[in-house]
Structure 1
Amino acid sequence: MIIIRKNKHTIIFLFLATTIIGCGTLQVTETEKIKDRSDDKNTIIKETPENKIEYYNNEDENVGEVSEVSKIEENHTDSIVSDFTEEISEENKKHVELLMVGDILLHMPIEEAAIDESGNYDFDFIFENMKEEISKADIAMVNQEVIIGGKDLGVSGYPSFNAPYEIGDALVNAGFDTICHATNHSLDKGKKALLNTCEYWETNHPEINVVGINKDRSHYENIKIIEKNGIKIAVLNYTYGTNGIAMPEDMPYAVNLMDEKKVTEDLKYAEDNADFTIVCPHWGTEYNLGVDSYQKKWTEIFRENGADLIFGTHPHVIEPIELLNDGDEIITNNHGNGDMLVYYSLGNFVNWTSGKGEGIANRMVGGMAKVKIRKTDKEVAIDEYEVRALVCHVKKGHEGITVYPLNDYSPELASENEIVKQDSSFSKEYCVELCNNVWGNEWK
């Protein structure tokens, strides 16, 4: 590994090498593509006969060289590598990149698009365009709107949902590592489906963080704290209700409800044991582009009790983003009535409602929240935040449904989205205008 500082930027060269012990000689045998962090260009490294390494951009223009790199004192190389490793290690410990998307709402047309002629399900196609971005996050979160009870219980859509286990596999393949399950549909198929869901995750993907539903009381009472890059992050997930379906008599703890006593106790535990607290409430009014009184009430409760970040779901449309601050310019950790960032609703990630008429187009636009938190000597706080607009593209046929970044979605592709048949106002221009109206200039 060679590290060169040029124009106050660090450029890292990676190559395969052989080392002759005692002679301190490194011989370059193969080079790889790297990224020049000073200008973010893809760069190719080339070795010249004069034992120099030259690096070129995509236009094959020479943009610099390094002399005499084939012979380096072994202890000097070790020092460079050691210094670099220490620098990267310390930097990684300072921040975590969080990502959250909205509802995985599996209406029957989506289930039907995922099944092949042999009756096997595969949902990977939904996430194909977003997988790379999702996988880059340190913690990638998603709201799994419907229960994953398995196809033996019968795959079903609205109004009483149940999904096959393969949707869970697809979420993991896409890069999600934290699944929010507390929704109004958590008990659609009763106790059996909920326990099946818990067992599926524990058996097939024990590494995944599952919040919001509980197989036993200990899960209900324990707060999920994820440690990443030296930062402890509490993740809390609650729903306003379960569509009038009562908790199983022997499992009153099955789903986390927005009970004020429970929520405040959890927040106190998180404040005492974690560096940063995220709350994912399933709240609000369906299809409402604004913030209702219920959300305002709970926002104050969350803020008063030390929550730092809110990722809201349930309305199935996007809602505003608000930074509640204590008056200081710098965002600091919330220890009660301090700084708190609220994404009121991230809308749907994927859906294909059967509804028709005005407002249906709104349900096709979702948000991908991206928040970087940073650890200083004193505390952990939000450093940067944004939202990326997404659009769900639906077309009849096998694997005909996927999600695109709105900025990459062409007017021509929008005209082919079959949701146009259900709401003729849907278009690329309509989606952009919707994001402007709800998010202003805060979206990408």
Structure 2
Amino acid sequence: MNGLNLVLSLIASIAIVSGVSAPDNVSVVMVGDILLHTPVEESAADVGGNYNFDFIFSKTKDYIAAADLAMVNQEVIIGGKELGVSGYPAFNAPYEIGDALSEAGFDVVCHATNHALDKGKRGVVNTLGYWQSAHPEMTVVGINGSQEQKDAVDIVEKNGIRIAILNYTYGTNGISAPSDMSFAVDMLDEDKVKRDLEYAEANADFTIVCPHWGTEYLHGIDGSQKKWTEVFRAGGADLVIGTHPHVIEPVEFIEDDVPGHGNNHGGGDMLVYYSLGNFVNWTSGTGAGTCDRMVGGMAQVTLAKDILGEVRIVDSGVKALVCHVTHGHDGVAVYPLSDYTDELADLNAIREQDSSFTRQQCVDICNSVWGSNWN
């Protein structure tokens, strides 16, 4: 134990003995990509064409709602039925998916993805308008309705802890921002990222970066992720939770390069979830590797402010998830892998696309990527 940690430990012990209440904690969870492929949308529609996606979250809602701060990567734009509900390759979701996200207990929705401009300016405008009118309590990051919004850094406060949340994407599938909305999507632009991190360091107690990055279907870490990890760390980020590869990737804790420093400086401790994989999807892929796309993760992190005012990660983990799909209405649900049975796996319609899909294969994927560090 270094000198500072020893002092903190002694101060905490004195506080406990003297009856001073312990510092408040903040529990944070985040899940990966919500990919509304056509079969998922069809599963949510009734005979009258009305949508309800609540059933998807029925097996994970308790974990989501229990968190102080619950975050989700909304892979596809929510432009509403008036823009035409569509799946891959140019996605557009009905507004009802947002209702389901709110009902499930999510507090923050990340929209900076490679599909953010699939429906152009109208898609971004409709999405922002929907959130503002239907769920103004939802913190929406990654897309913007003005330059002022783009220049701002979102900070949420939970239990007396101010948390900055930054969300960027590597690209938008070659689709340029509208000429009069160059600010529409937050990109992995180094100058902007550094400015945002500098602001976060000065105005928040803790900084979470949610980059849409990496290589699709690769369980490993690519060169771009390594580069950006260093940029985030140098800027003082404390927690990085990545999306986009559609498969799970490792979790890494990078220790402070100057022992004894607090978190609010460049080069401090940083926890990185390189990719949480898919949360919801019904991929059209077939053959080997399709099973991998059905496995996701829920990042679970607990923050606490110590007696000196530093906010630190005091606990972390990852909960393995599996997306269960069956034909028919309400046929999609995300399960914790710990609750998923061999019998359910035998009924998963993804077996029609990858006959090797089994519960054990899902377990093996998690063991291969995360070792035994999952629940």
TM-score range, shorter chain: over 0.9
* Conserved 8 A contact 2:24-2:305: yes
* Conserved 8 A contact 1:236-1:278: yes
1:436 corresponds in structure 2 to 367
Q: CA deviation at 1:352?
A: 0.3
Partner deviation per Cα, 1:107-152 (whole Å, 9 max, x = no partner): 0000000000111000000000111110000000000000000001
* Conserved 8 A contact 2:295-2:321: yes
For 1:425, give the aligned amino acid: S
Q: CA deviation at 1:333?
A: 1.4
The structure having more radius of gyration, on CA atoms, is: 1
* Conserved 8 A contact 1:281-1:312: yes
Question: Which secondary structure does the structure 2 equivalent of 1:238 belong to?
Answer: strand
* Conserved 8 A contact 2:304-2:312: yes
1:193 to 123, 132, 154: 123
Question: Which secondary structure does the structure 1 equivalent of 2:46 belong to?
Answer: coil
Partner deviation per Cα, 1:35-76 (whole Å, 9 max, x = no partner): xxxxxxxxxxxxxxxxxxxxxxxxxxxxxxxxxxxxxxxxxx
Matched, 1:139 2:69: yes
Residue 438 to residue 330, structure 1, CA distance change in 2 (3 Å): farther
Q: Normalized per residue, which structure has more strand? A: 1
Residue 440 to residue 94, structure 1, CA distance change in 2 (3 Å): same
Matched, 1:165 2:95: yes
Matched, 1:387 2:318: yes
What's the TM-score, normalizing by structure 2?
0.93
CA distance in 2, matches of 1:364, 1:443: 16
* Conserved 8 A contact 2:161-2:305: yes
2:349 corresponds in structure 1 to 418
CA distance in 2, matches of 1:335, 1:200: 37
Q: Normalized per residue, which structure has more helix? A: 2
Question: Which secondary structure does the structure 1 equivalent of 2:267 belong to?
Answer: coil
Matched, 1:289 2:219: yes
2:5 corresponds in structure 1 to none
Q: CA deviation at 1:332?
A: 4.8
CA distance in 2, matches of 1:376, 1:116: 51
Alignment of 1:88-237 (within 5 A): 90-91=21-22, 94-237=24-167
* Conserved 8 A contact 2:257-2:267: no
For 1:414, give the aligned amino acid: A
Matched, 1:397 2:312: no
Matched, 1:255 2:189: no
* Conserved 8 A contact 1:140-1:176: yes
Q: CA deviation at 1:328?
A: 8.0
Q: CA deviation at 1:315?
A: 0.2
Matched, 1:298 2:216: no
Which segments of 5 or more consecutive residues in structure 2 lack a partner in the other structure?
A: 1-18
* Conserved 8 A contact 1:226-1:232: yes
CA distance in 2, matches of 1:402, 1:143: 17
* Conserved 8 A contact 1:313-1:346: yes
Question: Which secondary structure does the structure 2 equivalent of 1:425 belong to?
Answer: coil
Partner deviation per Cα, 1:230-272 (whole Å, 9 max, x = no partner): 0000000000000000011011110000000000000000000
Alignment of 1:266-285 (within 5 A): 266-285=196-215
Percent of residue pairs identical:
63
Greater Cα offset, 251-260 or 327-336 = 327-336
Residue 410 to residue 257, structure 1, CA distance change in 2 (3 Å): same
For 1:238, give the aligned amino acid: Y
CA distance in 2, matches of 1:334, 1:398: 49
* Conserved 8 A contact 2:220-2:249: yes
* Conserved 8 A contact 2:210-2:240: yes
* Conserved 8 A contact 1:331-1:382: no
Question: Which secondary structure does the structure 2 equivalent of 1:109 belong to?
Answer: helix
CA distance in 2, matches of 1:322, 1:279: 15
Residue 330 to residue 386, structure 1, CA distance change in 2 (3 Å): farther
Alignment of 1:36-115 (within 5 A): 90-91=21-22, 94-115=24-45
For 2:240, give the aligned amino acid: I
Q: CA deviation at 1:326?
A: 2.0
For 1:112, give the aligned amino acid: E
* Conserved 8 A contact 2:205-2:264: no
Question: Which secondary structure does the structure 1 equivalent of 2:65 belong to?
Answer: helix
Question: Which secondary structure does the structure 1 equivalent of 2:98 belong to?
Answer: helix
For 2:327, give the aligned amino acid: K
Aligned length: 356
Question: Which secondary structure does the structure 2 equivalent of 1:436 belong to?
Answer: helix
For 2:97, give the aligned amino acid: I
CA distance in 2, matches of 1:400, 1:200: 26
* Conserved 8 A contact 2:219-2:248: yes
The one of the two structures with greater contact order (alpha-carbon pairs below 8 A, sep at least 6) is 2
Q: Which runs of 4+ in 1 moved over 3 A?
A: 327-332
CA distance in 1, matches of 2:100, 2:261: 35
Q: CA deviation at 1:334?
A: 4.6
Alignment of 1:21-40 (within 5 A): none
CA distance in 2, matches of 1:327, 1:428: 40
What's the TM-score, normalizing by structure 1?
0.79
CA distance in 1, matches of 2:178, 2:113: 16
CA distance in 2, matches of 1:142, 1:440: 24
CA distance in 2, matches of 1:272, 1:133: 32
CA distance in 2, matches of 1:411, 1:377: 48
CA distance in 2, matches of 1:335, 1:290: 28
CA distance in 2, matches of 1:420, 1:393: 11
RMSD, aligned α-carbons: 1.4
Q: CA deviation at 1:95?
A: 1.1
1:27 corresponds in structure 2 to none
